[in-house]
Amino acid sequence: MVPNTLFIGQQLYFLPACSSTNSEAQQLLIKNEATEGCTVVTAQQTAGRGQRGNTWEAEPGKNITLSVVLSPKFLAVKHQFYLNMAVSLAVLDLLHEFGAKQAQVKWPNDLFFQDRKLGGILIENAINSLTLQHSIVGIGLNVNQLQFGYTTATSLAKILGNSLDLEKVTLRLLELLEKRYLELRNGKTAKLKYEYLQSLYRYQEEHFFSVDNKLVKGQILGVGEDGRLAVEVNGEVRYFAFKEISYVI
C-alpha cells in the first residue's frame, strides 16, 4: 500500500530491520537514489538516534520508525526551525485524529501526552549556502507498545486501550506530513507558528526548569525563528538553544 499523497511515501522502502532509518535515507541520497518524499520504514531499528546523541529504543514491530527525505530549498537556514514546527504539527495532527486529544509538542522535538513521551523527531539538514539543500526527517512514534523500560513513556495503545493497525497509522502520518510540508512550502509560516505555540507543552505556564544545573522558575513565551526557546526567568526574557535548558517534570 502507498499513501494518498503527491510525493511523500510514493518511493517507499520497507526494511525488516536496520540500524537507523535516517542513516539508510542518507545512503540513498549519497547514491542519488532518493527523490523528494522518499521514505524508509523499518520494523526494528537497532541504533536509532535521538537529538544530540540520545538513543531511541522501540519494541520491534509495534511502533512507527521512519525517515523521509525532503528538499526544502525554499527555506532559509535561519528559518530552518519552521520545518521542525511543520513536522511536529503533522505528528500532532495524527495523534489528535486517532484519539489522543491531549497530545502536545514538547520543545524542541518530542510529542507528549500528560507528561509522558509518545514520540520524537530528529531532523538532519544539509545546508547549501543560505538555504537548505535537503533534510532527512526521522520520526519515532509509540503506537502499540505496552511495556517500557522507563516510566516516562506511553503509547497510543496505552492511551486508547486498544491496539491500532500500524500500516494504516503509518500511511496516514505520511499524508498529514505532506499536508503540513506543503503549508510550509506555500509560505504559511505564521499559521504554522501560531498552531505550534498553541500546541506547545507548558506554553505560558509557570514551571521549574534546569539551567546550568540550577533550578529556576520560568514561563515559556515562544520560540524564535532560529529555534531557540524564549523563557521569562526572574522578569527577564532569555533565549535557550537545545540542551541549554531542560524541563523539570
Residue pLDDT, tens place only, 46-84: 876 554 445 556 789 999 999 999 999 999 999 999 999
> What pLDDT score does 51 carry?
45
User: Quick one: residue 230, left, alpha or beta (phi over 0 = left, psi -120 to 50 = alpha)?
Assistant: beta
> What pLDDT score does 55 carry?
52
Q: Poorest-confidence range of 127-136, 154-163, 171-180?
A: 127-136
> What pLDDT score does 1 carry?
78
Higher pLDDT, 87 or 49: 87
pLDDT above 70 as % of the chain: 96
| Mean pLDDT within 32-54 | 82
Let me know: does 34 contact 27? Beta carbons within 8 Å: no
| Mean pLDDT within 198-223 | 97
Instruction: Compute and round to an integer the Cα radius of gyration of the chain.
Output: 18
Q: How many CA atoms lie within 13 A of 185 on its CB side?
A: 10
> What pLDDT score does 53 carry?
47
CA 57, CA 10: separation in Å to the nearest integer?
27
Let me know: does 138 contact 21? Beta carbons within 8 Å: yes
Place of cell 511543520: 86
- From 188, 90, 79, select the one nearest 127 (Cα to Cα): 79
pTM for the model:
0.95
Let me know: does 197 contact 31? Beta carbons within 8 Å: no
Q: Poorest-confidence range of 20-34, 51-65, 135-149?
A: 51-65
> What pLDDT score does 46 carry?
86
Let me know: does 241 contact 223? Beta carbons within 8 Å: no
| Mean pLDDT within 203-220 | 96
| Mean pLDDT within 114-143 | 95
Q: Is 124 exposed, middle or buried (0-12, 13-18, 19+ CB in 10 A)?
A: middle
> What pLDDT score does 57 carry?
61
β-bridge mates for residue 214, sequence order? 211
Structure-derived torsion over alpha carbons of residues 94, 47, 37, 144, reported in degrees to the nearest 10: -30
Let me know: does 120 contact 140? Beta carbons within 8 Å: yes
> What pLDDT score does 48 carry?
67
Q: Rounded to whole angstroms, what are the CA distances from 92 to 49, 69, 167?
A: 21, 20, 18
- From 179, 9, 218, 25, select the one nearest 90 (Cα to Cα): 179
Under the banding of pLDDT at 50, 70 and 90, the label for residue 150 is confident
CA 231, CA 218: separation in Å to the nearest integer?
6
CA 30, CA 46: separation in Å to the nearest integer?
22
β-bridge mates for residue 160, sequence order? none
Q: What is the mean pLDDT of the chain?
A: 94
